[in-house]
């Protein structure tokens, strides 16, 4: 049988493979994050932090992913991808996860924290002195900001913002006009802190707190003088919050997004959370108001917004209950104070964040800003945060007379407002601000610096798998690549020109660019390895990313595996490829690593016999990254640095015996079994230990 015929049969076989459900895979990822909140070997406050992370992730899941399922459930006649059954399946999984969250919170974390003198004191547990203090706090700080709304024909149900804290109250007796309107709503302003520390005079030296919801709960009667407060409940509604702007039909994208942000907090309701003791009368009333089915109702035995418990973590000073502080070393290939431009003439520099410090990237930009020979700075901005030294450096570059061009992605989800503000600030001081290509998000991370050196202009560049955000750079694993390579820098120059002028893109030397070549080239490389394996050559694919949901790539991988390619995929989050299915994907292993730091690097390794290729990338293997974004993948050609990345980013994670999970044939994940291993290692811990020895090289 010819190799072409074998490949054709493999394609047919893979096309019949049932892929895993994307939404269920996202929820399964949150199950793995939740496991960190359950682990006894994790410091107590960090366990609480992971619990909050799961809640935050679930919020985003409902804000972005739940609406089509909910719409299908309500229509009852959907024949497409989403259906009544799909809504019920997701609701069941989400309800189960939320129930486990609150069980852990109430039965394990809160008692353990109390044993360390940290306690959220409920209304029923407060001493007389504590109740007096809370009542005084309510009268001084809270009551003046509350405006209870009694519902009647002239006072309809008020607009309730996305994820805001509110109370619904059922009142007895008559109002001031002799009417029986019984339902009132109390909206709680976001400016109020959700956790309040009790003063030492009423609790001694212990870390005692009260929640804002319990402060209001204990004083509801004071808000309704002359009425009897009967049933009541806190509640929180989650709304669909994915901004949709028809870019083809707007004259100014920034203005359109600014207007859209004003309405984001009041999108279609997709989830309702109420107190566990909320009466059916009140919960049914709320479901009707928000036009939600019963499956969208979550009764929770605790605060309706666990995310806000991060305030408690910040208020408690207990280092023994947190991870030991990790100080990233200054990048090992750099010498503090040395010229970046001279260093890069000798060879490329790679920085493994957060084990090595992002300060190396900031120092590179800072040196460019202060160097009078640097003429231009071009950079993409996706998520840089609302308070960024990097943006301050760009502003200083403009002040010093350099030509600064910034491609700002206004549609970076949930960072739109910060990016709009940065774009307006930079534009106001004379920087050239661009917004990329209509219909495509600019997700690529690149910086290009042009410097006059004698009679020549020399380019230097930074490329990254992650964002230009100094804060998340301490928490996310990523690779930064500093280079003076003429082919790479020429490619970046052409890409910036393309983004600015929309002119035809010339053939690039090394960079694989989406949406033009990246998807096609990945499919070609996977197919070539499949053909090589079918001819008897030793082949291997190892790829690390955040998500794998592109169906064309998945089917190509399945085909390659069936032809004999050994494939290891390290996928942190959603993965639709069913691994280790007997007779179908026997050669494909999928694992997920959840650690102290958020795994964020994208690394793609292809080998056939002695030929090796390794790419770093800003792109996950998702259809949106391949077809609806500006993304980069670029090769690492230095054999020493390539092996370093293979060792630290691929080998280490494939041998992780502490924080890794393996995808099983039935679509579930199982945490790796480290029994029998003398000293099982976690990849992140090993990397922290490796780079800790370079502390003495840390820069200023």
Domain ranges of the chain: 22-321, 340-510, 514-697
- In this prediction the pTM is 0.90
Pick the closest to residue 350 from 172, 161, 481 (CA basis): 481
Phi/psi for 218 (5° steps) reads -75, -10
Whole-number pLDDT of residue 510: 96
Residues 664, 590 contacting (CB under 8 angstroms)? no
Contacts 24+ apart (CB under 8 A), 664-669: 664/579, 664/580, 665/578, 665/579, 665/580, 665/581, 665/582, 667/20, 667/24, 667/578, 668/28, 669/28, 669/31, 669/32, 669/592
Cβ–Cβ under 8 Å, residues 47 and 109? yes
Token pair listed for 60: 């985003």
**Residue 407: which of 490, 484, 468, 482 has the closest Cα?**
468
pLDDT, position 2: 41
- Ordered DSSP codes for 585-652: STTEEEEEE--SSEE---EEEEEETTEEEEEEES--BSHHHHHSEEEEEEE---HHHHHHHIIIIIIH
Q: Could you tell me which CATH number the domain at 514-697 has?
A: 3.30.870.10
Handedness of CA 314, 318, 324, 330 (dihedral sign): positive
Nearest to residue 663, comparing CAs of 549, 575, 595? 575
Q: In this structure, are residues 394 and 379 in contact, taking their beta carbons and an 8 Å threshold? A: yes
pLDDT in tens, 144-167: 999 999 888 777 888 899 999 999
Burial of 690 (0-12, 13-18, 19+ CB in 10 A): middle
Tokens of 348: 């490329």
CB atoms within 10 A of CB 477: 27
How far is Cα 642 from Cα 613, in angstroms, rounded to an integer?
9
Per-residue pLDDT, 410: 66
- Helix residue ranges per DSSP H, 429-485: none
pLDDT at res. 506: 92
CA terminus-to-terminus distance, the chain? 64
* Cα–Cα distance for residue pair 641/331, rounded to 1 Å: 14
User: Closest Cα partner for 36 from 658, 633, 521?
Assistant: 658
Q: Residue 397: which of 432, 442, 354, 359 has the closest Cα?
A: 432
Q: Find, among 499, 66, 13, the residue nearest to 270 by Cα.
A: 66
Query: 207-211 and 228-239: which strand pairing?
Result: unpaired
Contact (CB, 8 A) for 663 and 669? yes
pLDDT in tens, 596-621: 999 999 999 999 998 999 999 999 99
Tokens of 315: 């208020």
Fold type of domain 340-510: Endonuclease; Chain A (3.30.870)
Whether 281 sits among the annotated catalytic residues: the reply is no
Q: How many CB atoms lie within 10 A of CB 249?
A: 7
Q: Tell me which residue of 377, 414, 64, 31 sits closest to 238, measured CA to CA.
A: 64
Count the neighbouring beta carbons within 10 Å of the beta carbon of residue 642: 17
Q: Which of 69, 240, 352, 443 is catalytic?
A: 443
**Distance from C-alpha of 59 to C-alpha of 395, rounded to nearest angstrom:** 35
CATH topology match: 22-321 vs 514-697: no
- In contact, 409 and 441? CB cutoff 8 Å: yes
Q: How far apart are CA 700 and CA 698, in angstroms?
A: 7
CA pair distance 193, 206, nearest whole angstrom: 20
Residues 6+ apart with CB under 8 A from 544: 569, 570, 571, 599, 601, 602, 603, 604, 649, 650, 653
Q: In this predicted structure, what is the pLDDT of residue 16?
A: 67
Give the CATH class of 22-321.
Answer: alpha beta
**397: nearest Cα among 365, 357, 436:** 365
How far is Cα 431 from Cα 322, in angstroms, rounded to an integer? 42
Given a cut of 70, the residues of the chain with pLDDT beneath it are 1-16, 67-84, 242-266, 384-387, 410-420, 422, 436, 674-679, 695-700
CA–centroid distance for 33 within its chain: 12
Which pLDDT does position 440 carry in this prediction? 81
The pLDDT value recorded for residue 181 is 80
């Amino acid at each position: 049988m010819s190799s072409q015929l074998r490949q054709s049969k493999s394609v047919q076989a893979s096309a019949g493979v049932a892929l895993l459900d994307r939404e269920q895979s996202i929820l399964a990822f949150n199950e793995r994050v939740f496991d960190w909140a359950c682990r006894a070997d994790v410091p107590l406050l960090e366990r609480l932090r992971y619990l909050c992370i799961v809640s935050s992730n679930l919020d985003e899941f409902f804000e972005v992913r739940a609406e089509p399922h909910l719409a299908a459930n309500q229509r009852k006649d959907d024949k497409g991808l989403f259906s009544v059954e799909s809504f019920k399946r997701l609701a069941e999984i989400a309800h189960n996860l939320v129930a486990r969250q609150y069980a852990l919170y109430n039965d394990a974390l809160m008692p353990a924290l109390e044993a360390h003198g940290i306690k959220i004191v409920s209304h029923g547990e407060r001493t007389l002195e504590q109740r007096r203090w809370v009542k005084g706090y309510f009268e001084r700080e809270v009551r003046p900001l509350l405006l209870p709304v009694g519902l009647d024909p002239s006072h309809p149900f008020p607009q309730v913002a996305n994820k805001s804290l509110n109370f619904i109250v059922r009142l007895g007796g008559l109002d001031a006009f002799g009417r029986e309107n019984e339902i009132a709503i109390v909206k709680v302003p976001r400016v109020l802190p959700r956790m309040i520390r009790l003063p030492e005079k009423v609790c001694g030296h212990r870390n005692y707190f009260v929640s804002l919801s319990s402060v209001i709960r204990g004083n509801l009667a004071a808000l309704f003088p002359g009425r009897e407060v009967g049933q009541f409940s806190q509640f929180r509604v989650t709304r669909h919050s994915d901004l949709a702007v028809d870019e083809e039909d707007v004259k100014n994208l920034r203005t359109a997004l600014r207007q859209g942000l004003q309405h984001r907090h009041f999108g279609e309701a997709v989830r309702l959370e109420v107190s566990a003791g909320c009466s059916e009368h009140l919960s049914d009333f709320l479901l009707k108001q928000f036009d939600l089915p019963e499956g969208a109702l979550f009764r929770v035995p605790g605060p309706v917004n666990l995310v806000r418990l991060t305030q408690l973590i910040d208020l408690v000073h207990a280092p023994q209950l947190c991870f030991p502080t990790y100080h990233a070393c200054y990048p090992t290939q750099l010498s503090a104070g040395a010229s970046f431009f001279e260093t890069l003439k000798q060879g490329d520099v790679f920085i493994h964040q957060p084990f090595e410090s992002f300060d190396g990237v900031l120092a590179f930009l800072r040196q460019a800003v202060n160097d009078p020979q640097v003429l231009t700075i071009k950079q993409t901005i996706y998520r840089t945060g609302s308070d960024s030294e990097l943006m301050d450096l760009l502003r200083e570059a403009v002040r010093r007379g350099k030509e600064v061009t910034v491609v700002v992605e206004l549609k970076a989800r949930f960072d739109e407002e910060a990016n709009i503000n940065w774009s307006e600030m930079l534009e106001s001081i004379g920087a050239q601000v661009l917004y990329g290509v209509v219909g495509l998000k600019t997700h690529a991370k690149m910086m290009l610096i042009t410097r006059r050196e004698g009679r020549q202009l020399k380019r230097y560049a930074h490329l990254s798998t992650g964002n230009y955000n100094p804060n998340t750079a301490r928490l996310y694993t990523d690779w930064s690549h500093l280079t003076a390579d003429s082919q790479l820098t020429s490619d970046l120059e052409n890409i910036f020109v393309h983004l600015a002028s929309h002119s035809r893109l010339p053939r690039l030397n090394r960079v694989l660019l989406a949406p033009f070549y990246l998807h096609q080239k990945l499919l070609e490389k996977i197919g070539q390895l499949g053909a090589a394996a079918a001819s008897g050559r030793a082949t291997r694919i190892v790829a690390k990313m955040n998500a794998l949901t592109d169906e064309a790539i998945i089917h190509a991988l399945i085909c390659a595996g069936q032809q004999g390619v050994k494939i290891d995929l390290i996928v942190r989050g959603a993965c639709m490829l069913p691994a280790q299915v007997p007779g179908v994907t026997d050669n494909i292993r999928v694992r997920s690593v959840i650690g102290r730091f958020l795994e964020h690097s994208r690394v793609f390794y292809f080998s056939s016999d002695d030929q090796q290729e390794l790419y770093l990338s800003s792109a996950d293997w998702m259809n949106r990254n391949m077809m609806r974004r500006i993304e980069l993948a670029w090769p690492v050609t230095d054999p020493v640095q390539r092996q370093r990345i293979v060792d630290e980013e691929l080998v280490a994670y494939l041998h992780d015996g502490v924080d890794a999970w393996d995808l099983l044939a039935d679509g579930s994940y199982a945490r790796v079994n480290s029994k029998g291993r003398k000293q099982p290692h976690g990849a992140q811990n090993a990397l922290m230990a490796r780079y800790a020895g370079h502390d003495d090289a840390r820069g200023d």
